[in-house]
């Protein structure tokens, strides 16, 4: 989004007037560009899986699936979304450390390419379910490597984790593949970290995982039909950060994969991407309801906040760092005042932005939080204070489309049965 107040030439204020606020707006063209930007220069054998956890909206998934992405899902609902979006089971993997028996059965009967197993107990359950439904389960082992990731904002391996089976345990268990009659071990998965901005670290992690996969398949004596080296490619949000250099990243990954393919020419190689594909394509829009001053500081109180955009809180940071933000309807005016942007919740944590340079903010202004296409409403406490889920709009070929309806009060109450015994007035005479 070069002009931050327009998407595909459409003024964001017009979209807000049509669909109301607060809302998320996704740029379908940017989603497609993000996919092609990284897919084009990669080694041709690398297949990109879209991680639905980043943004499970059906229409967002449909755009990326239409561009060529497969799917990495972590629940029965995400599996259903991927299927409805047109992504084939043969291009879908199912992972997660706490799969239920029902989810395992749905994945197996739905024909997913691989179940990613994260513990010995899960291997037992997959074997049992596979015997019950009468299939041989294709299973890839998620491995918690001995070495930690470098350059990751959040490290997922290399230390005690609920994810995966420790590399050392697997290397000391060469008979593992023979113990399960309804399981076919066929691959290795590792995901070392997330929001990695250093392209050299992505390449280093990729090389490390490909080497580990070769060692494990040899030690455990199973055919290496697939390797998923995660990815963890990030985007910059905060001052002082830069997006990864995609040219350097893809060149390095292509070299690592090319060397690996010399020894394993038939192995499918997957790279997972979530945030990288969706973050820059999303905008969160909220309208100013009140402006005020308190002890010398200016506050813009808006109709949406961290109940829709929990990522803006900066959880895990010692100091509050702001996502890129702007006053959308006056983006060309000088930013000569300092403002705090807060939402409608009864908690001081409901702060979208702190000490941001803005023009003078007025009631009715639209404030946009940019790069908000990943980990938005579904990663936020949308029911806190019962304000409900926001609207989501996808701009497709110059047309704004409502792709998720705003949640109403009736929607919130609909799933809460009213029991007459609880609502009958007490007999005042007793």
How confident is the model over 136-194, as pLDDT tens digits? Answer: 999 999 999 876 555 444 444 445 567 789 999 999 999 999 999 999 999 999 987 78
Length of the chain as a residue count: 430
pLDDT mean over 202-211: 93
Q: Please indicate, yes or no, if residue 35 is contained in any of the structural domains.
A: no
CATH code at 334?
2.40.37.10
Q: Please indicate, yes or no, if residue 267 is contained in any of the structural domains.
A: yes
pLDDT confidence tier of residue 2, bands split at 50, 70 and 90: very low
263 φ/ψ sector (left φ>0, alpha ψ -120 to 50, else beta): alpha
Here the tokens at position 258 are 């090319």
Check whether 344 has a pLDDT greater than 70.
yes
Q: Please indicate, yes or no, if residue 265 is contained in any of the structural domains.
A: yes
Q: Please indicate, yes or no, if residue 197 is contained in any of the structural domains.
A: yes
pLDDT confidence tier of residue 328, bands split at 50, 70 and 90: very high
Which residue from 377, 273, 334 is spatially nearest to 49, judged by alpha carbons?
Answer: 273
Listed in sequence order, the residues at least 6 apart from 286 whose beta carbon sits closer than 8 Å to its beta carbon are 21, 22, 302, 303, 304, 305, 308, 343, 352, 366, 367, 369
Please state the domain count of the chain.
2
pLDDT at 159: 53
Q: Please indicate, yes or no, if residue 6 is contained in any of the structural domains.
A: no
Domain range for 325 is: 280-414
pLDDT at 12: 97
Q: Are 136 and 261 members of one domain? A: yes
Here the tokens at position 352 are 């979208």
pLDDT mean over 408-418: 94
pLDDT at 154: 45
Q: How many CA atoms does the CB half-sphere of 266 hold within 13 Å?
A: 4
Peptide bond into 267 cis (omega under 30): no
What is the spatial distance between Cα 82 and Cα 75, in angstroms, rounded to a whole number? 11
Here the tokens at position 382 are 């949308």
What is the spatial distance between Cα 53 and Cα 34, in angstroms, rounded to a whole number? 17
Q: Output the pTM of the full model.
A: 0.93
Minimum mean pLDDT range among 65-79, 309-323, 389-403, 411-425: 309-323
What is the spatial distance between Cα 265 and Cα 45, in angstroms, rounded to a whole number? 9
pLDDT at 166: 92
* CB 38 within 8 Å of CB 59: no
336 φ/ψ sector (left φ>0, alpha ψ -120 to 50, else beta): alpha
pLDDT at 146: 78
Q: How many CA atoms does the CB half-sphere of 217 hold within 13 Å?
A: 23
* CB 341 within 8 Å of CB 300: yes
Q: Are 298 and 375 members of one domain? A: yes
**268 strand-pairing partners:** 226
Q: Are 126 and 261 members of one domain? A: yes
């Amino acid at each position: 989004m070069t002009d931050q107040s327009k998407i595909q030439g459409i003024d964001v204020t017009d979209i807000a007037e049509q669909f109301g606020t607060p809302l998320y707006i996704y740029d379908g063209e940017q989603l497609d560009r993000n996919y092609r930007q990284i897919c084009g220069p990669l080694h041709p054998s690398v297949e990109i899986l879209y991680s639905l956890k980043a943004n499970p909206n059906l229409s967002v998934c449909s755009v990326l699936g239409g561009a060529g992405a497969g799917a990495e899902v972590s629940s029965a609902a995400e599996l259903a979304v991927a299927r409805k979006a047109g992504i084939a089971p043969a291009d879908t993997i199912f992972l997660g450390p706490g799969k239920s028996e029902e989810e395992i059965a749905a994945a197996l009967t739905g024909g997913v390419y691989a179940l990613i197993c994260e513990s010995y107990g899960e291997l037992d359950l997959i074997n049992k379910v596979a015997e019950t439904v009468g299939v041989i389960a294709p299973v890839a082992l998620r491995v918690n490597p001995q070495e930690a990731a470098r350059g990751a904002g959040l490290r997922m391996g290399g230390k005690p984790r609920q994810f995966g089976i420790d590399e050392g345990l697997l290397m000391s268990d060469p008979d593992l593949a023979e113990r399960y009659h309804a399981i076919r071990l066929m691959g290795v998965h590792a995901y070392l970290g997330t929001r990695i901005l250093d392209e050299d670290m992505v390449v280093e992690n990729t090389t490390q995982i490909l080497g580990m996969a070769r060692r494990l398949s040899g030690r455990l004596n199973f055919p290496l039909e697939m390797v998923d080296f995660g990815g963890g490619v990030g985007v910059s949000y905060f001052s002082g950060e830069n997006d990864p250099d995609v040219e350097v990243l893809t060149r390095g990954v292509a070299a690592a994969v090319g060397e690996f393919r010399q020894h394993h020419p038939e192995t499918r190689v997957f790279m997972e991407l979530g945030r990288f594909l969706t973050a820059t394509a999303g905008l969160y829009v909220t309208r100013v309801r009140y402006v005020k001053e308190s002890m010398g500081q200016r506050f813009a109180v808006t109709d949406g906040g961290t109940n829709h955009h929990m990522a803006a809180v900066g959880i895990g940071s010692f100091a509050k760092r702001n996502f890129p933000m702007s006053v959308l309807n006056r983006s060309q005016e000088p930013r000569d005042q300092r403002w705090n942007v807060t939402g409608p919740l009864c908690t001081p944590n409901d702060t979208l932005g702190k000490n941001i340079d803005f023009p003078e903010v007025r009631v009715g202004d639209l404030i946009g939080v940019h790069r908000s296409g990943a980990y938005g409403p579904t990663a936020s406490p949308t029911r806190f204070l019962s304000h409900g889920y926001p609207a989501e709009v996808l701009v497709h070929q110059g047309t704004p489309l409502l792709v998720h309806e705003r949640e109403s009060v009736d929607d919130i109450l609909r799933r809460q049965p009213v029991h007459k015994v609880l609502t009958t007035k007490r007999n005042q005479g007793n």
